[in-house]
Every structure is written in C-alpha cells, then in structure tokens.
A = this chain, B = another copy of it.
Amino acid sequence: MSYARQMLDSYPHNAGLDADVLAATIDALTDCAQACTADVDADLSEQDLAEMVRCIRLCLNCADVCTATAVIVSRQAEYDAAVARPQLEACVAICKSCGDECERHARHHRHCRVCAEACRRCEQACRDLLDVMK
C-alpha cells in the first residue's frame, strides 16, 4: 500500500473524496513528476539532442505542474474544489501535451516511452478525480 493510501486511512477526517481514487491520483502525480524529471535528464544525454528540446521543455513544465498538483490534492482534509479543480485541469492539459510529445520519441528512446505512459496514466487519474469531485 502506498504512503498516500496509508496517510489517507490515518486521517482524523476527510472531505468526502473517495480514498481509492484520491490515493491513485496522488500516486500517479508523483510518478509522473519523477518520470518527467528523469526524462529530461535522459534526453540531455542523447545524441539527437536538438530533436529533444521540445520534449525537454514539456517535461520540465509537466514535472513542476504535477508536483504542485500532488500537494494540492494531498491537502484534502478541507479541500476547496474552487482551487483544486482548475489546478487538476491545468495538470490534465500539460500531461496531454507532454504525453503526446514523449510518444513521438517512444520508438527511439525507451525513457520517452516510459515517460509517455506515466503522463497518460496521470492525465487519466486527474480526470478520474475531477469526475468524483463535482
């Protein structure tokens, strides 16, 4: 069980969000942030560096947005949908753009394939949380 899940189970109370969906989203966000950070580092080591600039730029932004979104949704005890929703929507946008770009390089660079998958899962997880957040 992830720490995100263990922490949710140990709260004095929660704001009524489904703990399974919330924990899965937090885990997908931290996974995606880590994958994007590592993908930038791997891209910078590639021979075809000039081809990877757009991927690097998107992964940098995706890592930062996912990290911020992860802490926003982790603070769930009194969460405010007026704040959490737009941040999740911003995260969906960057995960979509970054996943698309990583996929373009997935055949040549295995790290981009792994990162694309992390972006796709994160995008979906954010959408799932938005669905239950109404």
| Interface set of A (CB-CB < 8 Å, partner B) | 2-4, 6-8, 10-13, 26, 30-35, 37-42, 44-46, 49-50, 53-54, 56-58, 60-61, 63-65, 67-68, 70-72, 74-78, 80, 82-83, 86-87, 89-90, 93-94, 97, 109-111, 113-115, 118
With A61-B83, A68-B65 known to touch, is A8 a contact of B38 (CB < 8 Å)?
Answer: yes
With A34-B26, A68-B67, A97-B83 known to touch, is A41 a contact of B90 (CB < 8 Å)?
Answer: no
Considering the complex, give the chain B residue whose CB is closest to the CB of A87.
Answer: B90
With A44-B56, A65-B68, A72-B61 known to touch, is A111 a contact of B78 (CB < 8 Å)?
Answer: no
Could you tell me the distance in whole angstroms from the C-beta of A109 to the nearest C-beta in chain B? Answer: 8
